[in-house]
Amino acid sequence: MVLKIAIQKSGRLHDDSIQLLKDCGIAVKNGHNQLKTVADNFPLEAYFLRDDDIPQYVEDNVAHIGIVGENVLFEKNKSVDVVEQLGFGKCRLSIAVQKNDQYSDSSYLQGKKIATSYPELTRQFLNVNNIQAEIHEISGSVELAPSIGLADAVCDLVSSGSTLFMNGLKEVQTILKSQAVLVRSKELESGQQALLDQLLFRIRAVKKAKN
Ligand code: PRT
Ligand code: ZN
């Protein structure tokens, strides 16, 4: 019996994910040159994937559990259970406009064009607020869109805000606060659930020790 975990291969969640396992006493070699690896001292196998693919792998029970940002999880809307918020990878998904624009509330966006890598979450926000706006999906360099005339506003991830600032944008409304979470397949067998319970016990102890 082995518990398979999906972890980001490289990027903002990778190091903290590996460190969390390490703090739990589980040694996983980092996956920069490998796509999967077996832990030394816990029946755990790690798969290193793009974060965007992690919800699907877990929904399909190819990976039993995974670590992914809530932003990606909610955008993808896959059928998995959130087991625990992990306290790292914190950021927010926010609307930003050019720094001289006068944004009072979301009605500003009526009829405008919004560039984002998060079309579903943006659409939900617009629907809830009864705004008709055009969503322009792009996969990277979203912050550039207003200055090159591609969009009037962006909906993008922010942590320090310096990327927005450097691109002449200002954050005007947060639509989602996000952090990394541990997710679980809905199809775990009892043996895997028992391993997850052991892992979770350790994760909670680690979190407690840090507070
Ligand atoms: O290759 P792969 O698809 O796995 O990685 P990726 O490039 O899609 O994601 P990556 O590694 O950039 O981010 C992984 C996850 O980290 C995200 O899905 C979030 O859950 C979380 N996270 C936390 C962030 C940030 N903070 C963050 N600041 N993801 C992206 N950013 C971006 C932000 O959009 C801005 O462009 O980082 C830039 C710098 O942010 P500022 O505000 O500090 O300037
Ligand atoms: Zn990604």
Q: What is the pLDDT of residue 31?
A: 61
CA 126 to chain centre: 21
Taking the CA of 157 as reference, the closest ligand is 1
Ligand 1 centroid vs 157 CA: distance in angstroms?
Answer: 7
Closest-CA residue, ligand 1 atom 39, reads: 163
pLDDT, one tens digit per residue, over 58-76 is 999 999 999 999 999 999 9
> Best substitution site from 14, 70, 73, 157 to test ligand 1's pocket, by max atoms within 8 Å of Cβ?
157
pLDDT, one tens digit per residue, over 161-194 is 999 999 999 999 999 999 999 999 999 999 999 9
Residue 63: name the closest of 207, 183, 146, 194 by CA.
Answer: 183
- The yes/no answer to whether this complex scores an ipTM above 0.95 is yes
pLDDT bracket for residue 30 (50, 70, 90): confident
CA–CA distance, 114 with 169 (Å, rounded to integer): 13
CA–CA distance, 205 with 25 (Å, rounded to integer): 11
Q: What is the pLDDT of residue 32?
A: 67
Residues whose beta carbons lie less than 5 angstroms from ion ligand 2: 51-52
This prediction's pTM: 0.96
pLDDT, one tens digit per residue, over 106-154 is 999 999 999 999 999 999 999 999 999 999 999 999 999 999 999 999 9
Neighbours of 177 (CB within 10 A): 12
Ligand 2 centroid vs 190 CA: distance in angstroms?
Answer: 31
Question: For 85-151, where are the alpha helices, taking DSSP H only?
Answer: 119-128
Neighbours of 159 (CB within 10 A): 12
Closest-CA residue, ligand 1 atom 19, reads: 69
